[in-house]
Copies of this chain bind each other. A is one copy, B any other.
């Protein structure tokens, strides 16, 4: 950490700040520039982070030099983390495609869609049983019944399943049903929930909050990792900006940035990211070209009848076409990928 003093700071000011730092057991390194005096703080990251020297009148600003995340950082774990879900590998050279409806709507519908997305090339089945909806009057999901339908679809198709968990109390229930727990964007900083999933060993797909920085996202991963669950998959799903033609702004820059800063796999959700089915295929191609480890896509056999998120859902035909296009890109970028992750 570096402390920049205000122009005109006196020697007494420097001494006062240094004193405070030393009293916390930290090292001090004063550097006198032409206009500014800066003080380097030497010590363990955790203790430095707690300092509130910015509240001193003579301090202009405080600049952090280390990243605040540790277990999530590539400095700490240089090699890519690869997470196993059954026979699938998430985070390796083979891409992973997750697909399914926004909400589980019926038993037969779920089974049918599972079969269809599998045929089209999906590896994992998504579906919402507990739905976070901005309106209390909107369809809130089928709850445990929905999980049962998903589990049945898994039995028939062999596809592992992913579904969103919304509160600490239901983590144990969810773990009995799903192969991957999803933390939604609105819960990215729900620390009680992060801790609860961190106490399991079930893989967790952690969506980036729509207004969270990459650093905050990695800090939320750190919560899960620090509780003992190493199986964290990051998922970029669009951030909020001033643009209104798209529902969100899918931030693909996050893909190479996260791969540089962290060892965790990163998946892209183009459906929420752009919010209109018309642009989902183009953004899926772009995501894979940017280096994403996979996609999670909303697919519905009849989008205009969907109980939620119809406008961003692909038809099965469009989804087949999407898989075909992204696979072409994956193969050309990584010629060793002779066979994609099998979904058989």
Contact = CB atoms under 8 A, between A and B. Distances in A.
A186 B184 CA distance: 13
B135 A219 contact: yes
A245 B214 contact: yes
Nearest to A5: B65
A211 B185 CA distance: 12
Given A33-B40, A55-B311, A289-B329, A253 B279 contact: yes
17 contacts: A4-B65, A36-B65, A38-B40, A49-B138, A50-B307, A54-B310, A55-B303, A55-B312, A167-B190, A239-B249, A241-B241, A241-B249, A250-B252, A250-B253, A286-B287, A289-B289, A331-B332
A52 B277 CA distance: 12
B34 A31 contact: no
Contacts of A338: none
Interface of A: 2, 4, 7-8, 20, 29, 31-36, 38, 40-46, 49-56, 62-63, 65-66, 68, 75, 132-139, 166-169, 186-187, 189-193, 209-211, 213-216, 219-220, 222-223, 226-227, 239-246, 249-257, 260-261, 273-274, 276-279, 282-283, 285-291, 303-313, 325, 328-329, 331-333
Contacts of A134: 68, 189, 216, 219-220
A311 B45 CA distance: 18
Interface of A, secondary structure class, is mixed
Nearest to A335: B328
Given A35-B45, A249-B253, A63 B63 contact: yes
Contacts of A220: 134
Given A36-B66, A38-B2, A55-B303, A286 B278 contact: no
Contacts of A257: 245-246, 279
Contact of A239 (B32, B214, B243): B243
Contacts of A329: 289, 329, 332-333
Nearest to A61: B65
B260 A278 contact: yes
Contacts of A166: 191-192
Nearest to A212: B211
Given A241-B249, A245-B214, A249-B249, A31 B36 contact: no
A51 B309 CA distance: 9
Given A34-B44, A241-B242, A253-B273, A304 B136 contact: no
B279 A52 contact: no
